[in-house]
Amino acid sequence: MTFEEFLNRIDKVYYENEFELRYGQTIMNVLYQIWPDQYKKITGTDLDCFYDDGTAQSTLEYLEKVWNDQNI
C-alpha cells in the first residue's frame, strides 16, 4: 500500500463515519488496521492525534516520511 492509498483509506473511512469520528481518531484507527507496529510506536506521544485533531497534520507528515522506508 502506498502512502497515497493510506490517505485515501482515511478519507473514505472519515466520510463514511462523518459526525461519529474526528479526523485524528480516523487516522489512528486506520493506522492500527494497516500498520499496528507504527500505531503502537506513536500512541501516547506528541504524534498521537486520536484525542487532538490539531496534531493530525504532524502525524501525517511523520508517517509519510517513514512510510517509504517500510514495506507496508
Would you list the domain boundaries of the chain? 3-67
Please tell me whether the overall predicted TM-score, pTM, comes out greater than 0.85 for this model: yes
What's the angle, vertex CA 23, arms to CA 67 and CA 13, rounded to 5?
A: 80
Q: Is the pLDDT of residue 11 over 90?
A: yes
Cell output for 45? 506521544
Cell output for 6? 493510506
Return the percent helix, strand and coil in the chain, to nearest 5: 65, 0, 35
pLDDT for 18 equals 84
What's the angle, vertex CA 50, arms to CA 55 and CA 52, rounded to 5?
A: 40
